[in-house]
Structure 1
């Protein structure tokens, strides 16, 4: 009898302790439950962290614009059920990393940086104009031809690309992505047989594998098959051949290349070419 009472008391004490620990433990990041938990980046429908919440644990390059496939506001309050894109007014960054909110999908266009732990109203440009967000860290590297021997600078290469933008088919552009970036930097050819061969030949000291923070003039590479390469013009925008029709040369984003062609993104590199190495 005494043993039974002792065991019952011990069980009760353990249950109370477990309950206390559960209450004391901080809320951890959950999977999009409409609550802004520790480790998450959260949008609010209204200013000053009011209204419905949409919570994220990672970067999203395109929220979508229609239900039921879009990322939406899930918490109680104004805006619940609406798509997040172009509908957020304030944010709370409960993660340990800086997060950037972008005007365009694909981490492109103007952005507002939200420091770890910070609450903020989106600025006049981004309020109700939020199209993507990205968790840091962010590269501080700039484009440079140091050690490459390129005939043209990064700025000159960007100017060349912008001056050759066109829609519709033109000879010399179809299926010649690596050749085109070589032309932009003043070479008659890139020196590589394919974009993927170009990427594989570039010394590691010139590469930024996986980074999507590509400075103007940097070369963004994709894998699979012959691969693909395009030149950055800054602000998350690039100029690429063929993405908007064979033989065209138009503005695009990393996200569009991935979604339209299904090619895996490899990273970016300084303008190093086999043509002179």
Structure 2
């Protein structure tokens, strides 16, 4: 899925001729995560008392993952460095401006413990080394918004476009052109990015929700692996994606289906920000 837009045919040609291959990246290698607990971040520590290696986050994560290289890991120096965060954290420091909730289960489920802005502390006995997800501002519902983005369609209009263009018949404009498809949904003739993964990297952090699978209708869900993949949410955990139901088609699918069928690690979702107009 997973390919280049016609807008940048030079880049396509370079790749075809054996140019440098686009580097892949997992959620655990996001540039904003450097193993230091900085202002605005929520940090998990490998040991109690805010000791050991640190894993720092700027947003909610619904599933940390369980295996390298795709899991969120401890990045700071000290005990635990390189280990996956899931079921391995003992303490936290919330340096963000929002309450953060740590959950026993993935996808924000099971028992939990809240940490207010600025709070430091150990995970309680029910969560120490049994942590599977965390949520910024628990209870709030993120919504798709085009405010200030200059999109040619609203989130609702983009969803309506996606639903109205569902097809099981081959269409040359959809085949291997996932980033182009989401651009079409929002009224652009091309997204402006050379691939879905490049699109993800270009989106400013304030419009990103790394790791979150609670994607509102109109939000764009991204995956890494090769050129990556992107699809548009139509709400209720469902998405319209090209190629997953057959090359050149647009069909309804899920995040789980993309991960299972194509083996692509999930990155998170973004508001409809496009390089075409930025």
Gaps of 5+ in 2: 1-86, 88-102, 115-131
Structure 1 runs not aligned, ≥5 long: 1-38, 40-55, 61-92, 99-133
Greater Rg over alpha carbons, structure:
1
Give the corresponding residue for 1:96: 112
Decide whether the 8 Å contact of 2:146 with 2:154 is kept in 1. yes
Residue equivalent to 1:152: 153
1:58 aligns with 2:74: no
**2: CA distance, partners of 1:228 / 1:192:** 12
Normalising by structure 1, we get a TM-score of 0.53
* Contact map agreement 1:97 1:136 (CA 8 A) in 2: no
In structure 2, relative to structure 1, the CA distance for the partners of 1:94 and 1:201 (3 Å cut) is closer
Shift of 1:170: 1.6
Distance 1:208 1:262 in 2: 21
Counterparts of 1:155 and 1:252, CA distance in 2: 19
Q: 1:96 to 1:188 in 2, by over 3 A?
A: same
Q: Higher relative contact order at CA 8 Å, sep ≥6: structure 1 or structure 2?
A: 2
How has the CA–CA distance of structure 1 residues 168 and 154 changed in structure 2, closer, same or farther, with 3 Å as cutoff? same
Aligned to 2:228: 227
User: Deviation above 2 Å: which 4+ runs of structure 1?
Assistant: 56-60, 134-139
Contact 2:104-2:112 at 8 Å conserved across structures: no
Matched residue of 1:221: which SS? strand
Q: Which residue of 1 aligns with 2:241?
A: 240
Matches within 5 A, 1:156-167: 156-167=157-168
Give the 3-state SS of the residue equivalent to 1:246 in structure 2.
strand
For residue 216 of structure 2, what is the aligned residue in structure 1? Answer: 215
**What is the DSSP-based 3-state SS (H/G/I as helix, E as strand, rest coil) of the residue aligned with 2:239?**
strand
Q: How does 1:103-118 map to 2 (within 5 A)?
A: none
Deviation at 1:96, TM superposition (A): 2.0
Say if 1:175 and 1:97 are closer, same or farther in 2 by CA, change over 3 A: farther
CA apart distance, 1:58: 2.5
- RMSD between superposed Cα atoms in Å: 2.6
Partner in structure 1 of residue 80 of structure 2: none
